[in-house]
Amino acid sequence: MRLDKFLADMNQGTRKELKQLIRKGLVTVDGVTVKDPGTAVTKTSDIVLAGIPVVYNEYEYYMMNKPRGVITATEDARQETVLDLMAGEHRKDISPVGRLDKDTVGLLLITNDGQLNHQLLSPKHHVDKEYLARVSGKVTENDVKAFARGLFIEEGFRALPAQLKIQAYREIPAEADFRDLAMSNAPGQDLPDGVTEITVVIQEGKYHQIKKMFHAIGKEVIYLQRIRMGSLELDPNLQEGQYRKLTDEEIRLLKQSRE
């Protein structure tokens, strides 16, 4: 690839800025100063910009704890996106793996590894996506069995079997439950039948799927957080809106989970 593209991919500046730096003799390739921005280099070339080595990373992997109110997109003219939350020191071609609704929080993988992206999302690879949710009403063992069978949730679509687990039930909702309700897209109500905390594991990701699954059994999701995708678990140290690079071990295990 061209030298200026190599440096631009590694977020060392714009192509215009980098061409100027190269022509000023501030870049060496394998120990030799070069002034032609079009100099051919490889991913393994020894490149130094203004005395600082620049290593080429073909793929980048980030974990974000997505907050409410932010859309899962690379760019949008009107709304804040998850990439708007990230500082500039990352590849320009990264994008979210899958989609979390605007009012959904939690684990979001962001990468430019297109093959991993596809295989983590494809139902035929059976990659688990685990969510924590708070739901209006009392979730019962009959609901658990219905999820395990696979729910018919809309015309032409039956959800694959899902693992639903009941964690807790509150007959009298807490103040936090009403705050969740106010910030959710659930139909307006006053939670007369209490609130159930659940976890659910699915292996597909249709639009609003978990919300539609609970709607099909007469309940509404007032809070939804993704906590796991395959082997990758949400880092409890990440506050909403924060992100970090994946470790080498997390990347290795995540790639294994798609196989």
Q: Is 180 a catalytic residue?
A: no
Pick the catalytic residue from 9, 101, 103, 113.
Answer: 101
Write the DSSP assignment of 141-156 as a string of letters. Answer: HHHHHHHHH--EEETT
Q: What angle do CA 218, 208, 195 make, to 5 degrees?
A: 40
Beta strand 47-49 with 27-29 is antiparallel
Contact residues for 249 (Cβ-Cβ < 8 A; gap 6+): none
First to last CA, the chain: 31
Q: Beta partners for 108?
A: 64
Tell me the two tokens of residue 176. 């936090």
Strand (E) positions, the chain?
27-29, 32-33, 47-49, 52-54, 61-66, 95-96, 105-111, 129-136, 152-154, 157-158, 163-170, 195-202, 221-229, 232-233, 243-245
Q: How far apart are CA 132 and CA 51, in angstroms?
A: 48
How many CB atoms sit inside 10 A of residue 67's CB?
16
Catalytic residue numbers read 101
